[in-house]
A and B are shown apart, each in its own frame.
Chain A
Amino acid sequence: MTDVKTPSKLEKILAAGHLAVTSECGPPRGSDPEVITKKAEMIKDHVDAINITDNQTSVTRMCSLASCIHLKQMGLEPVLQMVTRDRNRIALQSDILGAASFDIYNILCLSGDHQSFGDCPQGQNVHDIDSMQLIQTVRHMRDEGKFLGGDDIKRPPQMFVGAAANPFADPFEIRVPRLAKKIAAGVEFIQTQCIYNLDKFEKWMELARDRGLHEKVYILAGLTPLKSAGMAKYMKNRVPGMDVPDDVVKRMADTPKEKQSEEGIKICIESILRLKEVQGVAGFHIMAIEWEEKVPGIVEETGLYPRPTLE
């Protein structure tokens, strides 16, 4: 896994054996670029790469690609999130080339939340290809230098290819086979769903290790600090595929309201410290939703700061 195939800084850091740290910024529901650049300013010295979400929860926002370009212009390392919900294979390949023209070196291939959750529930979804096939597509474009249609690409994209994995969704018996399938499709790094059930995550990692999958893909453990007991309950009950154990909800609820956000950060830090010891965890993806200012503290408190510099 140590061969570096792209100019991606994230790939180089992982290949050098460092625990990587990534975070994410959600683009605004408007065209003000400062929303993105301000969020990025808050976290840029504490992370190796910054994901830009692609119309997350199916709510229409500034596009991921344009937001990534803003980051690139700040000299930062973006991870272009791309969902298969809104674009067919022509548009996906076209946007990949567009991103590559700005030397965006990381992509995260996703299917995307269903449009019924967002602001256009009456809209169509595309799903011409799925997230696994998007992984295959990017690898094909990069490694073969060809479009899906078979023609040559002049200056192919050089992208480090990622995907999501949810160790907590059902059916559990195919969670690890599904990871193996993504690896077979060509995925090179994984950012997981937010982890609150550490026992279950560790079980998933163990099953992945049993098949040697941790040696075939870099797994970044996903963490989202809880802001309040209300958020913990909402995540537990309302967010599909999310596993928030009762003891986590109770710990938040038992904390006085004014101290709950602090407690949420504390849980996040404890989780990272524990997961740092799990064999096969290659880094952390800290998704502090509209709470980017907390990322530096979490990174520092967990001994992940300073971030490595590359030659």
Chain B
Amino acid sequence: MIVADKKPIEEIIEYLKGKQNILILGCNECVTVCEAGGKKEVGVLASALRMYFQNQGEDVKIDEVTLERQCDHEYLEEIRDRVDQYDAVVSLACGVGVQFMAEKYHSTHIYPGVNTCFLGATEERGLWTERCQACGQCILATTGGICPVSRCAKRLLNGPCGGSTTGKCEVKKGDEEIDCGWQLIVDRLQALDRLDEYETLCPVKDWSTDRAGGPRKVIREDLKQ
């Protein structure tokens, strides 16, 4: 899923200065699972903002809506008849939802309420970790099902580098140690009795299907009407 994290409320308040009618718009998909932008978080943010504006002596109306999805026309249509009454919408969807809103409702100010972080998994409640960078050409078949593009800080296709120590990457996130992606790959190949495959050189990668190729599309003629 797409993992997002809440933006600091101070940043959101900054966007909303001088606004009178605000909609906090949640999304029932990924951001609900990672507890950044679902119905519950919409409620929490709306309450905090109400309290803030009340303390400032400002009369600001704040509504709450959570859609099934913000990345589909059909669900975004559900707010068409009311969106014009707001002078600001804070979308707690991922960057896709925020942009889809902006494209659809041209005259409404849309602000992001979360930072979209990565494609990842829930390891445990409160801990999400990255697994995929959507490079567009999956190489997991050759790496034992562990992705060096997303799990190696240098996205080495023929890793590990010399900085791998006792299974950990030379890069740390604060005090948090990161697993060396290539140690995981080697361990996995070993467990599968496929360590000999380690010596197969991974050729120079075609990154044109990655971010480098510009905004991407998937077109399925068989599904188009």
Please report which residues of chain B, range 173-225, place their CB below 8 angstroms from some CB of chain A when the two chains form the complex: 180, 183, 186-187, 190, 195, 198-199, 201-205, 207
When A127-B155, A174-B186, A181-B199 are in contact, do A169 and B204 touch as well, CB less than 8 Å?
no
Pick the contact of B207: A128, A132, A171, A180 (CB < 8 A).
Answer: A128
Known: A114-B153, A171-B186. A164 touches B162 (CB 8 A): yes
- The answer to whether the Cβ of B43 comes within 8 Å of any Cβ in the partner chain is no
Q: CB-CB < 8 A to B163: which residues of A?
A: 113-114, 169, 240-241
- Between-chain CB contacts (< 8 Å), 22 pairs: A111-B154, A112-B154, A114-B170, A116-B153, A116-B172, A125-B154, A127-B155, A127-B156, A130-B157, A136-B203, A170-B165, A171-B160, A171-B183, A173-B186, A173-B190, A174-B160, A177-B195, A177-B199, A184-B201, A241-B162, A241-B163, A241-B170
B186 touches A130 (CB 8 A): no
Q: List chain B residues, Cβ under 8 A from A127.
A: 154-156
Which residues from chain A contact B153 at a C-beta distance below 8 Å? 114, 116, 125
Cβ of B166: which chain A residues have Cβ within 8 Å of it? 170
From known contacts A133-B203, A180-B199, A184-B199, infer whether A169 and B165 are also in contact, taking CB-CB under 8 Å: yes
Chain A residues with CB under 8 Å of B195's CB are 173-174, 177
Q: Give the residues in chain A near B205, CB-CB below 8 Å.
A: 129
Instruction: Determine whether the beta carbon of A177 is less than 8 Å from that of B198.
Output: yes
* Residues B164 and A170 in contact, CB atoms below 8 Å apart: yes
Q: A133-B157, A241-B164 are in contact. Are A116 and B203 (CB under 8 A)?
A: no
- Contact between A130 and B154, CB atoms less than 8 A apart: yes
Contact residues in A for B120 (Cβ distance below 8 Å): none
Complex: how many Å from CA A164 to CA B207?
Answer: 26
Instruction: Decide if B154 touches A85 in the complex (CB within 8 Å).
Output: yes
**Closest residue of chain B to A148, judged by CB?**
B204
B171 within 8 A of A: yes
With both beta carbons as reference points, the residue of chain B lying nearest to A192 in the complex is identified as B162
Residue-wise, chain A 179-202 has the 8 Å CB interface mask toward B (1 for contact) of 011001100000001000000000
* B positions within 8 Å CB-CB of A: 153-167, 170-172, 180, 183, 186-187, 190, 195, 198-199, 201-205, 207
Q: Pick the 8 closest A-B CB pairs, nearest first.
A: A166-B162, A240-B170, A240-B163, A132-B158, A241-B162, A130-B156, A169-B162, A114-B171
Binding site for B on A (CB under 8 A): 84-85, 89, 111-114, 116-117, 125, 127-133, 136-137, 148, 164, 166, 169-171, 173-174, 177, 180-181, 184-185, 193, 240-241
Contact between chains at A133 and B204 (CB < 8 Å): yes
**Nearest-CB distance from B34 to chain A (Å)?**
25
Residues of A within 8 A of B202 (CB): 132-133
- Whether B183 lies near A170 (C-beta < 8 A) is yes
Instruction: Supply 9 further A-B pairs (C-beta < 8 A) apart from A128-B207, A169-B162.
Output: A85-B154, A127-B154, A127-B155, A129-B204, A166-B162, A170-B165, A184-B199, A193-B162, A240-B165
The secondary-structure label for the interface of chain B is: loop
CA distance A175 to B182 in the complex (A): 12
State the CA gap A184–B205 with chains docked (Å). 18
Let me know if B171 and A133 touch, CB within 8 A: no
Closest Cβ of chain B to A56, distance in Å, is 13
**B154 and A241 within 8 A (CB):** no
A181 and B171 form a contact (CB under 8 A): no
Contact A171 B164, beta carbon cutoff 8 Å: yes
Minimum C-beta distance from A282 to chain B (A): 20
Instruction: Provide the bound-state CA to CA distance between A133 and B190, in Å.
Output: 24
Give chain A residues whose Cβ lies under 8 Å from the Cβ of B165: 169-170, 240-241
State in angstroms the CA–CA spacing of A113 and B164 once bound together: 11
Contacts of A137 in B (CB 8 A): 204
The answer for the CA separation of A40 and B115 in the assembled complex, in Å, is 50
> Is B171 touching A116 in the complex (CB atoms < 8 A)?
yes
User: Which residue of the partner chain, among A113, A171, A173, A174, contacts B170 with CB atoms under 8 Å?
Assistant: A113
Q: How far is the CB of A96 from chain B (nearest CB, A)?
A: 15
Q: If A133-B157, A170-B183 touch, does A185 touch B201 (CB 8 Å cutoff)?
A: yes
- Contacting residue for B161 out of A89, A111, A116, CB 8 A: A111
CB-CB under 8 A from A129, the residues of chain B are 204-205
User: How far does the alpha carbon of A164 sit from the alpha carbon of B163 in the complex, in Å?
Assistant: 12
Q: In the bound complex, what is the Cα–Cα distance between A121 and B207 (angstroms)? A: 24
In the bound complex, CA of A128 to CA of B167 (Å): 24
Question: What is the distance, in angstroms, from A151's C-beta to the closest C-beta of chain B?
Answer: 15
Q: How far is the CA of A114 from the CA of B161 in the complex (A)?
A: 10
